[in-house]
Amino acid sequence: MPYILLVEDDPELRLLIEHVLLDADYEVDSCETLEGGNELMSRRDYDLLVADGRLRDGTGTQLADRAREEGIPALIMTGYAFVLPELGVDLARYDVLLKPISPEELLVSVAKALASRDERSRD
């Protein structure tokens, strides 16, 4: 069963996304900050990172960079696709989901990201 790290600072949205993923039979750890995400990544090996683009203490892309170094695919969720580049964030380097995200869109994107990881590990 794939392990997913979810980092989202909106508690209601985090809970909703977590339940969508759990209902789809994924294991999920979640937190609300960059610091919390880094701590969880230090404790467990994940199959996928799903992170909010803007967090209270940084950006989800900072976690995505670390995940990429560790061979973990990442999905960035954002409602600030036009603001993040102004903050120096190059979204073209990531798989991006624009908020609001439907459960179906989330699950399709998660499945694609996990499949791409599986393909890379076979090569």
Q: Are 81 and 98 in contact (CB under 8 A)?
A: yes
The CATH number of the domain where 31 resides is what? 3.40.50.2300
Q: What is the pLDDT of residues 59-93, one digit of tens each?
A: 898 999 999 999 999 999 987 665 555 555 555 67
pTM (whole model) above 0.85: yes
Q: Are 52 and 96 in contact (CB under 8 A)?
A: no
Q: Which domain holds residue 67?
A: 3-122
Q: What is the pLDDT of residues 2-54, one digit of tens each?
A: 999 999 999 999 999 999 999 999 999 999 999 999 999 999 999 999 999 88
Three-state secondary structure call for residue 25 = coil
For the chain, the domain total comes to 1
